[in-house]
Structure 1
Amino acid sequence: MRGMLVFLPLLVLLSACTRTDRAQPVGSQDEQIELEVLSPDSGGEMVLIPGGQFIMGDSSDRPDETPHEVLVGSFYMDKHAVTQELFEKVMGTNPSKLKRAENPVERTQWIDAARFCNKCSELDGLTPCYDPATWKCDFAAGGYRLPTEAEWECACRAGSQTKYFFGDSERDLTAYAWLKPHSRGRTQPVGTKRPNRWGLYDMHGNVWQWCNDYYSESYYEESPRENPRGPATGEQRVLRGGAWSSTADKCRAAYRFKEFPVFSDACFGADSYGFRRVRGAGVSPPTAKPSPQVVVSEPPPGHQEKPAVEPPPEPVAQGKIAASRLKGTIVFVSDRGGDLDIWTMHANARILKQLTRDTHRDADPRFSPDGKRIMYTSLREGFPEIWAMNRDGSQPQRIAEGSQAQWSPDGQSIVFIRDDQTHMRDLGTGNERRITPEAWQRCGVPTWSPDGKQFAVASRHSGDIGIFLLAADGSSHRQLETEEPSCTPQWSPDGQRIIFQTVKGHIHQFYADMESEEQVTFGADIQHDPRYSPDGSMMVFCRAPTLEGPWQLCITDLESDDLDFVQITSEGSNRLPDWDALEE
């Protein structure tokens, strides 16, 4: 560390602890520092991190890592990333892909981590830090929260100023971190690598760790010196530390990653996102000047800030499906214009149009039953809202908080996701009701049966992700007996089939009358987001060589013996299609 650490006296009331003691010297990292250990009633162990000043950032060529001096107060931090055992003990669920009690919990969203912190605060008789209405953090509350970026980097460095807390050698990193290619392709039990000299394990690798801060590339240039807490607003939150799937560069102490608080892959999630708690120690450096506020402007509905993108012409669809059969309009999400926006095109890959051009990222477009309106999800300050617009993109209108909305067969209501639960909303009255049992968690991608009598929704409340059918009146529900964990259910127009994607990255079709299942896409790449054609004879879906993309839209003939398919996009990355019979 450049400069001298300022060690402050501790005057802390530890009402939520069963014991406090002195940690025994841990591991071997040239020099071990004995720090206080706190054992909360809610579980886990927390180490007292001494406040002080350090140089945050790195002199790399990354514009978001500008080195600058920071002073932070003392705080307690979890010795390990929150384990699956602890998460399940507190929350009653375990969202992780690889379920092992001693491994870090993963597939968590920022919201999950904030809820966990609040629940631990309640269990320990402390004041929760997060307001569930806004998810703003009250730093003066006595409960648990996520670390600020500055706190996380201070704790990781443990007095060092090198690339990693032990030095600069990537060769030595495997002694301290689970990372690619040494992680065996998955998370590993916490605490099995060497700690830093403050006794913190897995600060490099294993799982990315959520921080409280919003992300801004330029924030370091205007950050206050004392206790910086990140921009006042934003869309994405910061993750730190790298993961089992990361390269050595991304495990650096200064490396900054970002993700939406409620990320888009509601079905399978990212099995590399975890977190650890912090709690203030009751001492701070001198009062800091107010943090500058980075405000994300909110354009009025329909306001278009970005210039129109002149799309490159898509090639006419080529393949074994006759062009004469490719009728109707497909709406989809694409980054070809720079951001994630809503586009439409003819099913034969002609007449490409961009519908949204504002500063927000848009997803999940769905045609109304009459084809005149499009419902979609818009990320505002990182949180999803449901919007609707005319078919040509005009008159956008906010409908509700939530995401992944689907129209009812009569177009009078929608079913959607909010706070991991499935809700129904009457568009005329605005009345809402939850339709999934309260115990269900991590629901996603709901859809209405064509006769309006059932909902299909994906949920992981019973362990692996699965598809559940619920009676519209709430009288009953059952799980589809699919061959693999599955998600994104969609009914065929006649209501006799359900198409969905599996955890292995293929698309299957389930026949309701025979309770049978068939695989309808193949190959070593990944296939997601299937939707039936208006007559049910074909489907549109997206495929990519890896989860990182680029994704391209394809159409498969479900009635052909060979399941013939044709690719209809080639520019950018294109996902989340829907298909309507009307043509432009």
Structure 2
Amino acid sequence: MWSFQTVAFPTNRYLFARTVVGNTDIYSADGTAMPVQLTFGSTVETAPQLSPTRDLIAYTSNATGLYQLYTMNRDGSNPRQITTLDVDVYNNRGVGYRWSPDGAYFIYAHNDKLYRINRDGTGRVELATAPASRNFRECDWTAEDGGHLVVQTVGADIFDSELYIYNTDGTTPPAAGGQPAGPGRFAQLQHRRTDDCVHAGRSRLQLCRWPAAGRAHFQPPHRWNRNACGPIIGHQ
């Protein structure tokens, strides 16, 4: 009688999207073995993020025609659609979402609205509205100093970027001295097509350490400081 035992599915620490023969899917890897393909649809699956609790992978897919947010197990099983309002439109294309630090929620951008939603797709709450003639795009959520959200807004030109800071409930954090900080804008960036600001035509924004002075510190993708910042997108 023959007997055998299957090898446990690898808990790879790297997640990325790869396009093969015109089809984009999500893969995992540990840097030593062959990457493991996790999605197999005929549509685009992209922008993977491992949950802080390391039990689920979030990603976006245009299977419905517009990019929606999904989750799946780390082995690619049990894919589940989370959003019904798309994470798309206005130069978003599925990149505008982020896990909460505890892995219980997502925030995501939908045109000029910023939403929070439970990880199971319930309890959607509108947190903020972008300034007139602007739309939300990329976002981040830090647990430092009680938690803050930072969101990129873009105007008619995608390289016309402004960064806004919010409390986790969508309200504006106080400025120095405890006074309201107005609309929450703390930086205006005029992005240019340089290696410092833009990679493959997309800006990559990341919230780093929150200084005592109350101003968030950002670094462009090619000046990422491992000691100051958290993990980059897709690197867990």
**Pair in the same fold by TM > 0.5:** yes
**Map of 1:427 onto structure 2:** 119
Which of 148, 151, 154 is the matching residue for 1:460? 154
1:496 maps to which of 172, 188, 210: 210
Contact 1:422–1:444 (Cα < 8 Å) also in 2: no
Give the distance between the partners of 1:472 and 1:538, measured in 2 at CA. Answer: 18
* C-alpha distance in 2 between matches for 1:373 and 1:457: 23
Judging by fraction of residues, say which structure has more strand: 2
Q: Indicate whether 1:579 and 2:235 are aligned.
A: yes
Deviation at 1:364, TM superposition (A): 1.4
Q: Is the Cα–Cα contact under 8 Å of residues 375 and 389 in structure 1 kept in the other structure?
A: yes
**In 1, distance between residues paired with 2:107 and 2:27?**
23
Alignment map for 1:329-408 (pairs within 5 Å): 329-336=13-20, 338-346=22-30, 348=31, 350-401=33-84, 402-403=86-87, 404-408=96-100
* 1:267-303 deviation per Cα after TM superposition (whole angstroms, max 9, x unaligned): xxxxxxxxxxxxxxxxxxxxxxxxxxxxxxxxxxxxx
Give the SS at the match of 1:480: strand
CA distance in 2: counterparts of 1:409 and 1:538, whole angstroms = 11
Letter in 2 for 1:391: R
Given the superposition, is the C-alpha separation of residues 355 and 512 from structure 1 closer, same or farther in structure 2, using an over 3 Å criterion?
farther
Does residue 446 (structure 1) correspond to residue 162 (structure 2)? The answer is no
Whether the 8 Å contact between 2:206 and 2:219 is mirrored in structure 1 is no
Report the CA distance between 1:456 and its aligned residue: 0.9
Matches within 5 A, 1:19-418: 329-336=13-20, 338-346=22-30, 348=31, 350-401=33-84, 402-403=86-87, 404-418=96-110
Query: Could you say if the C-alpha distance between residues 516 and 423 of structure 1 is closer, same or farther in structure 2, counting changes exceeding 3 Å?
Result: closer
Equivalent residues of 2:154, 2:162 under 8 A apart: yes
Say whether the 8 Å CA contact 1:406–1:415 is kept in structure 2: yes
Give per-residue Cα distances to partners, 1:337-386, cap 9 Å, x unaligned: 6411111112x454411110112211111110111111111102431111
Structure 2 runs not aligned, ≥5 long: 1-11, 88-95, 173-182, 192-196, 198-202
Aligned to 2:3: none
8 Å Cα contact 1:450/1:491 also seen in 2? no
Task: Name which one, 1 or 2, has greater alpha-carbon Rg.
Answer: 1
Match of 2:170 in 1: 474
TM-superposition CA deviations, 1:31-76 (whole Å, max 9, x none)? xxxxxxxxxxxxxxxxxxxxxxxxxxxxxxxxxxxxxxxxxxxxxx
Helix, strand or coil at the partner of 1:521: helix
Cα distance in structure 2, aligned partners of 1:425 and 1:435: 10
**Contact 1:331/1:343, CA 8 A, preserved across alignment:** yes
Assess, with a 3 A threshold, how the Cα gap between structure 1 residues 339 and 410 changes in structure 2: closer, same or farther: same
CA distance in 2, matches of 1:490, 1:458: 10
Q: Which residue of 2 aligns with 1:291?
A: none
- Whether the aligned pair in 2 keeps the contact of 1:439 and 1:461 (CA below 8 Å) is no
**How far apart, CA to CA, are the structure 1 residues paired with 2:110 and 2:100?**
17
**Pair 1:382–1:465, CA change in 2 (3 A):** same
Return the letter of the residue paired with 1:448: W
Instruction: Specify which structure has the higher proportion of helix.
Output: 1
Change in 2 beyond 3 A, CA 1:367/1:516: closer
Residue 521 (structure 1) aligns with = 222
Q: Which amino acid aligns with 2:222?
A: T
Q: Secondary structure at the match of 2:49?
A: strand
1:465: how far off?
Answer: 1.5
1:344/1:358 CA distance change after superposition, 3 Å: same
Q: What is the alpha-carbon distance in structure 1 between the residues aligned to residue 204 and residue 222 of structure 2? A: 15
Say if 1:467 and 1:435 are closer, same or farther in 2 by CA, change over 3 A. same
| Distance in structure 2 (CA, Å) of the matches to 1:455 and 1:341 | 29
RMSD, aligned α-carbons: 3.4
The separation in 2 between residues aligned to 1:436 and 1:538, in whole angstroms, is: 24
Distance 1:360 1:429 in 2: 21
Name the CA distance, whole Å, in 2 between partners of 1:513 and 1:386.
31
User: Under a length normalisation based on structure 2, what TM-score does the superposition of the two structures give?
Assistant: 0.67
Q: Which amino acid aligns with 2:118?
A: D
Q: Deviations over 1:69-98 (max 9, x none)?
A: xxxxxxxxxxxxxxxxxxxxxxxxxxxxxx
Identity of aligned residues (%): 19
CA separation of 1:515 and 1:331: change in aligned 2, threshold 3 A = closer
Change (3 A) 1:490 1:427: same
CA 1:481–1:420: 2 relative to 1, 3 Å: closer
Q: Unaligned regions of 5+ residues in structure 1, if any?
A: 1-327, 498-510, 523-529, 541-576
Change (3 A) 1:453 1:364: same
Cα offset for 1:394? 1.0
